Chain A
Amino acid sequence: MLEPLIILGALGLLFGIGLFIASRVFFVKIDGRVEMIEKVLPGTNCGACGFAGCTGLAKAIVHGQADVMGCVAGGENVADQVAEVMGVKAGAVEKKVAVLRCQGRNVKDRFIYEGIRTCEAAILVQGGPKECSYGCIRFGDCVAACLFDALHMVDGFPQVDEAKCVSCGKCVEACPKHLFELLPLGKTVHVQCQSHAMAKDTRKACDVGCIGCKKCEKICPFDAIHVENNLAVIDFEKCTSCGKCVDECPMNTIGQFRMKRKELGLWPVKKKQPSAVSDQPSA
């Protein structure tokens, strides 16, 4: 009766000592800050920072390989918390948002597409079924890619929920037509078209596509918008989002996002004092 107890007890003691020695011999020194930073990071592992998930970034920050503002998705709030852990001050983060550069809801199909219903697969079939070869295919690869519930199909067309968008760039990567761009929240005027087609072809395919008429170019008081290769392109260095081109555009291609952002409480963008730019912790 006593025998098994003794044997098991002895074994337990033996393993215990073994584990104790192993934990000493193979001790890995962990910087507590990695865990603390990991806690404040969003934890979605979106990869927008360029490191392998949130843990990767946390390690990189502690080791001085990444900036305290490295988390793209987290924005200012997270940057502040990370900076607190690291004992430095975060600089101002310019909040960006994904802008869809197409609004061709009414673009018709050129042919009956019967293949796999993803954008990525559809472009393999003669560039996709849409009449406009530059525009949205509307199978929602971007919606599927969004990790933050910030993209939805609204009446069969993707729409960015700017309140939720953290500008991680997943949609930019997912869209085979490269229709998304990450742009500063403060810039509220955008050309919502990516078509380089000739005016007559654009017009045939789409009722809201840029026809390259250059009216915007002429009206712009800041020389901030130019037609290049049949498409109006805004120079955001110069653009003040005044909206003169929006009113002038005959195709309603250029959009003013200000009212919408105001309603969401995103505009005007609160500017943090770009006080002491983060002192990098030494590695």
Chain B
Amino acid sequence: MKHLSEDAAIERIEAPERVVLPLSQHIGGPAKAVVKPGDYVLKGQVVAEATGYVSVPIHASVSGTVKEIFMRATPLGRQCEHLVIDNDGKDAGVVTLGRDRDWQGMKRDELANLIQEGGLVGMGGAAFPTHVKLTPPPEAHIDTLIMNGVECEPFLTIDGRMMLEYPKEITEGIRILKRALGVQRVIVGIEANKKQAFAAMRAAARQDSDISVEMLEVKYPQGAEKQLIDALIKRKVPSGKLPLDVGVVVQNVTTAYMTYQAVAKSTPLIERPLTVTGDGIERPTNMIVPIGISIGEVIVRQGLKEETRKIIMGGPMMGVAVFDPELPVVKGTSGLLALIEGVETMSHPCIRCGRCIEVCPLAEHAVSIVAAVKEGRVEDYDKLHVMDCVECGSCAFQCPARRPLIHYTKLAKAELAAWRAKHRK
């Protein structure tokens, strides 16, 4: 699937006439608007500030006038404020935008602060604020930083292209992350289907004795944190624990590029590299787009075929289907897919083949989770490790009866959260 766009060089797209910036683009507290309709903003200016530790600010991706602020649901169903900026076409940036900054002598917390101020979140798709991962609690003994260049989702090629085209910047970003985290060892994991990117990264990190670039087997979900840690350094993250409990922090390679931009180039996260692909797209490609551009605009630019049946934000396995072309590209949008084929949805009864259990990277029993959900046995969800599921989609993909297994798991998670909240009080 990657062949569609893996050879397409990263393009830049002209800034749109209008950008829409949801104030909740990351996991954690939504940002709070600090501008009001009618205000003039410069490119790179903070338009919404972080509302706590697990939160990041949001910056204007174009210069222009704030038109309005309105409430709408994000593709994940969360209601939040959206800020609309009309582009004046002047591309006027804040004074510091793009200015070189010497970070070598900076302390750890200074770097973490710069990274938070830059609005950085994980670029792999989950959009977890980067600085939070860089400031682990003191009792955690972090010794390894793992850079995730796996990009195991089918179709997506942007991380691979970024490593191929910007290996120096990414490596510099890795050095910054390494310093901010205060570790001695960095391992970059890249899947074997990206040989050129692997070679480029190896070459760029040649002088750094403490950065090793490793090649990994191609398999899904190799890029899931826990699987990646196991594959690279043979440590197993226990159920309910985080990578930092085994002394590891995982960051995406494109996040390293953005870290370089935010710290060394004083450019906050206002652009997003992504892959536009799928059999419904005339010219599949990789591009860097301003955050807040509508997905319709991006897709139409690359040619949308009429037969397209589904548009997905993110990868085909874990992405979210979207129905509204007006929705903006956000910090977590790693790809836009238009699909014609393979959209089979008719669901049949379980045939008890057990493939969902076989393919699960955590050996979870999806079939038992579905049974528990259907019978409303909320108290059993914990035993079935519902909360450990990363929703990689392998089970649903394999299911010959095409049952919506991930949907059931998501439902179980929601029910369990509600049940816990009810029983705590």
Contacts and interface: CB of A to CB of B under 8 A. Distances in A.
B349 interface: no
A120 B411 contact: yes
Interface residues of A, number: 13
A108 interface: no
Closest 9 CB pairs of A and B: A111-B323, A114-B345, A127-B77, A126-B77, A115-B407, A121-B411, A127-B73, A115-B404, A124-B410
A140 to B, nearest CB: 15
Nearest to A128: B77
Contacts of B408: 116, 121
A21 interface: no
Interface in B403-420: 404, 407-408, 410-411, 414-415
Interface in B390-406: 404
Contacts of A120: 411, 414-415
Chain B CB count within 10 A is highest, among A111, A114, A125, A127, for A114
Contacts of A116: 404, 407-408, 411
A62 to B, nearest CB: 27
A124 B345 contact: no
A164 interface: no
A103 interface: no
Contacts of B73: 126-127, 133
A108 B137 CA distance: 49
> Mostly helix, strand, loop or mixed at chain B's interface?
mixed
A121 B345 CA distance: 16
Given A114-B345, A116-B411, A125 B404 contact: no
6 contacts: A110-B323, A110-B324, A116-B411, A120-B415, A124-B77, A127-B77
A123 interface: yes
Interface of B: 73, 75-77, 320-321, 323-324, 345, 404, 407-408, 410-411, 414-415
A179 B199 CA distance: 59
> Mostly helix, strand, loop or mixed at chain A's interface?
loop
B411 A124 contact: yes
A213 to B, nearest CB: 20
Contacts of B411: 116, 120-121, 124
B77 to A, nearest CB: 4
A110 B327 CA distance: 14
B296 to A, nearest CB: 15
B345 A125 contact: no
A115 B321 CA distance: 12
Contacts of A127: 73, 77
B189 to A, nearest CB: 32
A126 B407 contact: no
Nearest to B403: A116
A120 B419 CA distance: 14
A116 B404 CA distance: 7
Given A114-B345, A123-B77, A126-B77, 6 more contacts: A110-B324, A116-B404, A121-B408, A125-B77, A125-B407, A126-B73
Contacts of B345: 114
Contacts of A121: 407-408, 411
A127 B415 CA distance: 15
A124 to B, nearest CB: 5
Contacts of B76: 126
A52 to B, nearest CB: 14
B397 to A, nearest CB: 15
Contacts of A115: 404, 407
A120 B77 CA distance: 13
Interface string A111-141: 1001110001101111100000100000000
A126 B75 CA distance: 6
Contacts of B321: 111
A109 to B, nearest CB: 9
A124 B323 contact: no
A204 to B, nearest CB: 13
Contacts of B75: 126
A115 B370 CA distance: 13
A136 B75 CA distance: 20
A115 B408 CA distance: 9
Nearest to B320: A126
A248 to B, nearest CB: 29
A125 B77 CA distance: 7
B168 to A, nearest CB: 40
A116 B405 CA distance: 10
